[in-house]
């Protein structure tokens, strides 16, 4: 068995553990700092919306163009008076995207580009997106994202409880804010592929969160009937029990996405892969982080505010103080493994090992084995 598998088994059985919940203020501070950075980047730089959202024209040249991306970008901006995005496709053709143009301007820009690129005008393919259609697409995207968030909160509130639904919602907002902020800081174009990537990573983020929540729900069914662990400690055990699973699924998901982003978009120059691969890469990493360091510790905070959990915590601490005064070890108080309901003090000790069956009283005394005659 590999070292990671051995660690996962030990974490699952409670033999080792990392106190994520105890250090939750550190994780909250890191998340707040990253979120503020993302919001500042979004406010200062803004999002570079694609023509699908704001309207514009896309010109595609024939294959094997000799002009460089920088030259084509300069010529397109001079011809249109607007910012232009130029991408060199795998077959050597150029994709020139200019926002804020109408049909009449598009025809004029196409003629200018044909002269500067030394290409016949009929060989340049032009696609025009109207601004009203772009606004409609943007509104539909926001509506889809809003409906997704509402349905997620309703489902989690029904399947688990409202505190877990609130914690999952906070984690989702955290992931969206970081991903959008990275887009603003990097300057990548926001396209419908970006929206698809966002919805995909939100679903993945929820998967990790729900796995931890399901374990937590199972382990806290009768938590008030025992005095060995507080809710926060059981929540921490749930995180540790699913930690290696979360790491494995995240790494496996990030590897192909990293290939799309760094090799496909960076090395091979397939720029159209950047819009979806960046959202997936950042979102997957943020989702794995938030499910461990944000969602579950936040649930623990919300639950510890309940009167029942406050009373439980007092009983647990009182029992530990009493045990410490008697000189008992910490393990005998806090224990390892899944908790069980407290037994009465006069309960008989458990029998370990094989048990001897009592001899029969009325049958077969002094008689050899075999058939009865």
Comparing 125 with 102, the larger pLDDT belongs to 125
Report the pLDDT averaged over residues 59-87: 81
Report the pLDDT averaged over residues 148-154: 87
Grade residue 125 by pLDDT with cuts at 50, 70 and 90.
confident
Give the pLDDT of residue 337. 43
Nearest to 204 by CA among 288, 298, 142: 288
- pTM assigned to the model: 0.71
Q: What does the chain come to in residues?
A: 373
165, 295 Cβ separation under 8 angstroms: no
DSSP 8-class letter at 273:
G
pLDDT tens-digit map of 214-224: 888 888 888 88
pLDDT tens-digit map of 15-29: 666 788 888 899 999
Distance CA 78, CA 121 (A): 17
Mean pLDDT of the chain: 77
Contacts of 205 (CB under 8 A, 6+ apart): 171, 172, 175, 283, 284, 286, 287, 288, 290, 291
Place of tokens 């309703």: 154
Domains identified in the chain and CATH numbers:
3-49+133-308 (1.20.1640.10), 56-129 (3.30.70.270)
Query: In this model, does residue 8 exceed pLDDT 60?
Result: no
Distance CA 179, CA 194 (A): 10
Distance CA 309, CA 232 (A): 10
Strand partners, 58: 97, 127
């Amino acid at each position: 068995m590999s070292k990671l598998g051995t660690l996962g088994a030990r974490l699952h059985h409670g033999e080792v553990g990392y106190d994520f919940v105890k250090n939750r203020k550190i994780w909250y501070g890191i998340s707040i700092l990253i979120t503020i950075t993302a919001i500042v980047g979004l406010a200062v730089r803004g999002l570079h919306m694609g023509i699908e959202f704001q309207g514009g024209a896309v010109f595609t040249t024939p294959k094997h163009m000799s002009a460089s991306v920088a030259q084509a970008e300069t010529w397109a901006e001079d011809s249109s008076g607007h910012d232009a995005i130029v991408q060199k496709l795998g077959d050597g053709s150029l994709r020139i995207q200019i926002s804020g143009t109408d049909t009449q301007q598009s025809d004029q820009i196409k003629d200018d580009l044909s002269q500067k690129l030394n290409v016949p005008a009929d060989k340049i393919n032009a696609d025009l997106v109207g601004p009203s259609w772009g606004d409609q697409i943007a509104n539909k995207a926001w509506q889809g994202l809003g409906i997704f968030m509402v349905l997620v909160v309703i489902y989690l509130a029904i399947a688990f409880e409202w505190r877990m639904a609130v914690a999952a919602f906070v984690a989702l907002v955290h992931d969206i804010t970081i991903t959008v902020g990275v887009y603003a800081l990097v300057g990548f174009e926001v396209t419908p592929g970006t929206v698809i990537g966002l919805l995909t990573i939100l679903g993945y983020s929820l998967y990790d969160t729900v796995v931890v929540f399901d374990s937590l729900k199972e382990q806290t069914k009768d938590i008030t009937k025992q005095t060995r662990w507080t809710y926060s400690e059981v929540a921490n055990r749930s995180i540790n029990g699913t930690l290696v699973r979360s790491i494995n699924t995240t790494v496996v998901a990030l590897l192909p996405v990293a290939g799309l982003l760094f090799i496909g978009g960076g090395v091979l120059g397939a720029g159209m892969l950047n819009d979806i691969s960046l959202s997936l890469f950042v979102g997957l990493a943020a989702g794995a982080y938030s499910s461990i360091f944000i969602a579950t510790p936040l649930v623990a905070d919300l639950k510890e505010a309940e009167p029942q959990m406050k009373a439980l915590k007092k009983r647990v601490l009182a029992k530990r103080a009493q045990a410490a005064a008697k000189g008992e070890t910490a393990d005998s108080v806090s224990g390892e493994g899944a908790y069980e309901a407290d037994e009465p003090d006069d309960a008989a000790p458990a029998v370990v090992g094989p048990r001897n069956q009592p001899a029969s009283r009325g049958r077969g005394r002094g008689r050899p084995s075999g058939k009865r005659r």
